[in-house]
DNA sequence: AAAGCGCTTTGACATAAGTCAAAGAAATGT
DNA sequence: ACATTTCTTTGACTTATGTCAAAGCGCTTT
């Protein structure tokens, strides 16, 4: 059987707390499992609490006035989302949908706030977490506003290859359409840029498998804004 | 003479605290005055603390690889900046430069953290503040990625007219070049769009004075992504 | 006034990226 | 295995926005 306290200790948001604190948290956390493509909440819904991903993946996105979807982020195991609404008391600012079979832990707003009200250490952890998130957004803004699509794609590929550890090959874990939206563009444009990068010998892609052949050039495109010819 | 405690009580970040808490804060806060266009910190500088604007205005911006400036935000009286580095312990993620004669209050990292470590209420205030900022960024991302420049400009004009309260006339408080950067574009494009909005009868602009003539159409452009012909 | 400087506007042009449409490929259900 | 749907790729075209260059305007300084 699973051990709630141990699972909570593995969540970065709650790292470094005492045994009693973990137990208090596991008492107020509510477990919830969802199949793929189930909706967790919608933009505008009242924020009654926040979620931690135990297993699986959750997609956070917004729908524009013209009906296009802009994916803001994917959250995986150990990451939390929806905390902002806990403290602002407003509705959720975006949609959340599972991108795979997913297990979540839900922390209701009222019980969590009363917990934090007595516990500076817990609050400090959350502050650091929110700060990191804020930094991430600042980077995202920079990406969207200062770089063109090939740069964003190059950066994403390098990010994936760094995380996967191995030297050259990368496996996309989302569809190309979703990747396009995550990069702030559309599938056609992404497809053309991938084809071009293949032609230039920067990558070698077959389906979701992508080998990075010329990391140096990719870095020039991602970091220095160099254009791909 | 000025009253430090009263000034601190007027800062939203610290609203609702006790007299003792205000006094503790005013003991660790360091006052600093700067003329216009003075640099507070640069991207990458070590974050030794954070700032609160008492008077004046501070511009937060990043320089892209190609050397273009993207303005992220302006902070005015009562607002704070640099807090993220206090909790992440990393360097500042952007540049900060005064946009006018400005008075700041500086809170050194170490003393502030030890203060917060003993005070859940103070931590909760900060959490709410960071959450609000996070929400703001989510909106900014949406703007940059989902809307074209006329939409962003229309939104900004409506925002200004809403804040200024009065019905129709708006006075730009930054140069058009700066406004262009804030909207993620360049002065030429901004100029053309203003000219077009004048031609369409949406606004009437002379220099930094802009009258909003057709608020309904501006809202369509800002919120529904309608194009201006 | 004149001169000089920065900001703004305008024009001609280049290009990245979106739209529309259709064909291919891959995944899914029956 | 087939049919159906969804995802991906490709092509022709449009458009918004950036680049480069020059002229205009408003400001301060002499």
Give the DSSP letter of residue B184. T
Q: Which residues of A touch B62 (CB under 8 A)?
A: 138, 142, 146
Ramachandran assignment for B102, one of left (phi > 0), alpha (psi -120 to 50 degrees), beta (any other): beta
Q: Closest CA to D7 C1' — which residue? A: A177
Q: Are B120 and A116 in contact (CB under 8 A)?
A: yes
Cα separation of B133 and A84, whole Å?
9
Closest CB from A116, A133, A147 relative to B134: A133
Cα separation of B158 and B163, whole Å?
9
**What was the pLDDT predicted at A15?**
79
Among candidates A19, A135, A151, which has minimal Cα distance to B92?
Answer: A135
Whether the predicted pLDDT of B172 surpasses 70: yes
Residue-wise pLDDT for B187-227, tens only, equals 999 999 999 999 999 999 988 999 999 999 999 998 877 88
Residue B6 — pLDDT band, cuts 50, 70, 90?
confident
Cα separation of B187 and A47, whole Å?
40
* Interface contact A39, partner B, CB < 8 A: no
**What was the pLDDT predicted at A46?**
93
Residue-wise pLDDT for A135-193, tens only, equals 887 777 777 766 789 999 999 999 888 766 566 789 998 999 999 998 889 999 999 99
Q: Classify A146-223 by CATH class.
A: mainly alpha
Which token pair is A93? 């600012």
B68 nearest nucleotide via C1' and CA: D18
Cβ contact A137–B138 (<8 Å):
yes
Residue B31 — pLDDT band, cuts 50, 70, 90?
very high
Residue-wise pLDDT for B34-43, tens only, equals 988 889 999 9
Segment 157-176 of chain B within 8 Å of chain A by CB: none
**What was the pLDDT predicted at B19?**
86
**Distance, CA of A227 to C1' of D21, in Å:** 24
**What was the pLDDT predicted at A166?**
61
Q: A176: Cβ under 7 Å from strand D?
A: yes
**What was the pLDDT predicted at A104?**
94
Residue indicated by tokens 């003393």: B111
Q: Which residues of A touch B138 (CB under 8 A)?
A: 62, 72, 93-94, 137
**How crowded is residue A39: how many other Cβ atoms within 10 Å of its Cβ?**
11
Residue-wise pLDDT for A109-126, tens only, equals 999 999 988 888 888 888
Among candidates B142, B102, B134, B115, which has minimal Cα distance to B28?
Answer: B115
Q: A146: Cβ under 7 Å from strand D?
A: no
Fold of B147-223: Arc Repressor Mutant, subunit A (1.10.10)
What is the sign of the dihedral through the CA atoms of A207, A219, A61 and A26?
positive
Contacts of A149 (CB under 8 A, 6+ apart): A183, A184, A185, A189, A190, A193
**Distance, CA of B194 to C1' of D26, in Å:** 19
Architecture of domain B4-145: Sandwich (2.60)
Q: Which option is the CATH number for A4-135: 3.40.50.150, 2.170.120.20, 2.60.120.10, 1.20.1370.10?
A: 2.60.120.10
Domain ranges of chain B: 4-145, 147-223
Closest CB from B123, B138, B142 relative to A124: B123
């Amino acid at each position: 059987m699973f051990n709630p306290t141990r699972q909570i200790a593995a969540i970065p948001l709650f790292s470094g707390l005492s045994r009693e604190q973990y137990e208090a948290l596991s008492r107020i956390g509510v477990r919830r499992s969802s199949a793929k493509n189930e909706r967790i909440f919608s933009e505008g819904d009242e924020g009654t609490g926040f979620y931690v991903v135990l297993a699986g993946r959750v997609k956070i996105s917004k729908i524009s006035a013209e009906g296009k979807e802009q994916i803001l982020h994917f959250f995986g195991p150990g990451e939390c989302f929806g905390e902002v609404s806990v403290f602002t008391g407003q509705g959720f600012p975006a949609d959340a949908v599972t991108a795979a079979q997913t297990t979540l832990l839900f922390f209701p707003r009222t019980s969590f706030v009363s917990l934090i009200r007595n516990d500076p250490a817990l609050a400090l952890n959350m502050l650091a977490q929110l700060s990191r998130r804020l930094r991430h957004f600042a980077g995202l803004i920079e990406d969207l506003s200062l770089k063109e699509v090939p740069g964003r794609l190059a950066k994403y590929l390098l990010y994936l290859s760094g995380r996967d550890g191995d030297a050259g090959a990368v496996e996309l874990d989302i569809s190309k359409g979703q990747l396009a939206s995550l990069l702030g563009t559309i599938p056609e444009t992404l497809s053309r840029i991938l084809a071009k990068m293949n032609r230039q010998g920067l990558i070698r892609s077959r389906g979701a498998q992508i080998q990075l052949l010329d990391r140096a050039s990719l870095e020039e495109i991602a970091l220095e804004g160099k254009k791909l010819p």
